[in-house]
Amino acid sequence: MTAECTALLAGLARQLPALHALYRDLHTHPELSHQEFRTAGIVAARLRQQGWAVTEGVGGTGVVGVLASGDGPVVLLRADMDALPVREATGLPYASTRTAVDADGAEVPVMHACGHDVHVTCLLGATALLAANRHAWRGTVVAVFQPAEEVGGAPAMIEDGFAERFPHPDVCLAQHVAPAPAGLVATRPGSVMGASDSLAVRLHGRGGHGSTPAATVDPVVMAAATVMRLQTVVAREVSADQAAVVTVGSLHAGARENVIPDTADLRINIRSATPAVRRRLLEAVERTVRAEATASSAPKEPETTVLSSFPVTVNDPEATAAVRHRFRTVFGPGHVIDLPRPLTGSEDFGAFGTLLGAPSVYWTFGGLDPAAFSGVDLLEDGIPPETPHNHSPLFAPLPDPTIELGVRYLLVASTPWLAPPTA
């Protein structure tokens, strides 16, 4: 390990028991997007205890901490805080049993099924070491605890005057725990995560009695045909060498088995790896929805509402090379993977770099037991399908060693900018 990394990481071992306790607490008390009030309060209190200048309520529930140690570059470090409407099935002693009311007024189970509790814990561990070891770095760190990842949290913080209220970053850094062996970290220059577009579509029919369907226009059948037809968009309109996904994650219509309703509602998520594919997918989805409505003699045109939309996450090549070099130097080249292609998942972290005009670097790191991947070539075979992925009710990163490694990744990635000048 380099001397600057050793100095910056001093005291990490002493922090780990408290960080593990924090992680268990956050996992037990997840909060939905834009509802991260308890989590934000914990973050703000801990940052203040560490000596950071803290601003709360940024973009809703976002928290920003600023800490300077002499003159030097400004590094933005981001963690996301929100959980998902998923009922936990891990069986962990600290599993969530929480429910909450979502934006549509429905009571839903809540779980940290994407690992954002890991991210918050790791960044708070990193901020504690940055505060305790200010002799080991030079510059300014902006620690961003973001609400509502994938559903507008990053743009909301930017729109809340982020550029005017906080130091302008020279680089933006973020990470995400993944269903891969603990000890592996992966990144790539250029496109690293896909674009994401989420749409709400209302199909209009003409309701009536279930016994006389000829007197109706059945939106349930219309919705079913639309869902099936949408499955052909990627299969038949996108080249096999391009990454794309179209998912209908929600379909709701009616309340009684013998009543044909007036409307059916779909929620559609579209992932794409390039702007050209993104445009093609959006056009194809809109065309398909309208065509199925026409084929069903719908009395009204479908209504489409954009729920969220953000572009491809792009890693700056030069900054990524610097981070990757530090990872290989500190953790060993066998623990650093070069992703051969962009991931199909999406991430709104890129909004910080794009809207603030700063280079950004994003990486993923493993959080599962390496023994579960014995004999698996991840680059060749991919992650085994039976492995619980992010958003699964069974997704449960191992606190040890994932939290320690996550703290190390954040701080090691920062050293190309924060390392003090040599004598």
- Consecutive 10-residue runs of the chain (423 residues): their mean pLDDT? 85 97 98 98 98 98 97 97 98 98 94 98 98 96 96 93 97 97 96 92 97 96 98 94 92 96 97 90 97 97 92 94 97 94 87 94 96 83 87 96 98 94 57
Strands 139-146 and 303-310: unpaired
The rounded distance, in Å, linking the Cα atoms of 156 and 351 is 10
| The three-state (H, E, C) secondary structure of 40-71, written as one string | HHHHHHHHHHHCCEEEEEECCCEEEEEEEECC
**Domains detected in the chain:** 3-189+316-418 (3.40.630.10), 194-310 (3.30.70.360)
Q: What's the gap between Cα 184 and its chain centre? A: 19
What pLDDT sits at residue 139? 97
User: Which letter does DSSP use for residue 167 in this model?
Assistant: P
What is the structure's pLDDT at 421?
A: 67
Give the residue numbers marked as catalytic: 82, 149
* pLDDT at 422 (0 to 100): 62
**pLDDT at residue 423, as a whole number:** 42
φ and ψ at residue 365, rounded to 5 degrees: -140, 145
User: Residue 259: what residue type?
Assistant: V
Measured from the Cβ of residue 189, the count of other Cβ atoms closer than 10 Å reads: 17
**Contacting residues for 225 by C-beta, under 8 A, at least 6 apart:** 292, 295, 296
Beta-carbon count within 10 A of 304 CB: 16
Cβ neighbours, 10 Å, residue 301: 12
pTM: 0.89
CB-based contact 373:181 (threshold 8 Å) = yes
Task: Compute the chain's Rg from CA coordinates.
Answer: 23
What is the per-residue pLDDT for 270? 95
Angle at 69 between CA 57 and CA 58, to 5 degrees: 10
